[in-house]
Amino acid sequence: MNAFKHLLLLTTLMLTTLTQAAENGNFEKLPPLKNFQVNTENMVSSGLPSKPHFDVFKAQGVTTVIDLIPGDRSEEREIVLDTGLAYENVQVVWDNPTLENFQEYVGYMQQAQSREGTTLTHCKLNWRGAVFTYLYRVTQLGEPEAEAKADLDAIWQPNETWQAFIDTVKAHYQVS
């Protein structure tokens, strides 16, 4: 997605938040959202959102949240479901991402595509998310490597563990 569309979405999110705050008489600032990125027209990724972020995402057409953080995610699951969004969790251990993790993610993304709306992929800093959305775009959507890689590089430069994971997934799906 080009920079203009990204800026437009961010501006829309901000204006929606301010409008909702004004209507509710609450002008508290929306907490910062780390590494928010528009990946495709129906795919966004970010660092860890808060309840107000989920409310804004829903207002902007997000229908599914895929959380890549391992551990007990019951609190977030409840918040997301109470907001009216679908919720999935892929337990991606930071120092051991697996092909099976990615395949589980692909399954959830395919389910999400059967619904209308946008899918949010998130983790703590959007490092896991950036890699998973990058890999999904090149292995499942057939997007050009350079385009998807530019978005990944804008978030972070994968370390050896994550580069090995990327190489494994790409080899499995026969993408160079």
Residues 35-49: tens digit of each pLDDT: 999 999 999 999 999
Question: CA-CA distances (angstroms) from residue 168 to 1, 99, 149?
Answer: 26, 7, 16
pLDDT in tens, 56-79: 999 999 999 999 999 999 999 999
Q: What is the per-residue burial (b if ≥16 Cβ within 10 Å, else e) of 148-169?
A: beebbeebeebeeebeebbeeb
Report the pLDDT value the prediction gives residue 5, as an integer from 0 to 100. 56
pTM here? 0.86
Residue 166 has pLDDT above 70, yes or no: yes
Report the pLDDT value the prediction gives residue 176, as an integer from 0 to 100. 84
125 vs 129: CA distance, rounded Å: 8
Closest CA to 54 of 79, 78, 26: 79
Which domains occur in the chain, in start order? Answer: 3-172 (3.90.190.10)
Report the pLDDT value the prediction gives residue 9, as an integer from 0 to 100. 60
Confidence of residue 128 (pLDDT cuts 50, 70, 90): very high
**Average pLDDT of every residue of the chain:** 89
Residue 15 has pLDDT above 70, yes or no: no
35 torsion bin: left (phi>0), alpha (psi -120 to 50), beta (else) = left
Report the pLDDT value the prediction gives residue 121, as an integer from 0 to 100. 98
Could you give the count of Cα atoms lying within 13 Å of 58 in the half-sphere of its Cβ? 16
Lookup result for tokens 């207002």: 59
Residue 8 has pLDDT above 70, yes or no: no
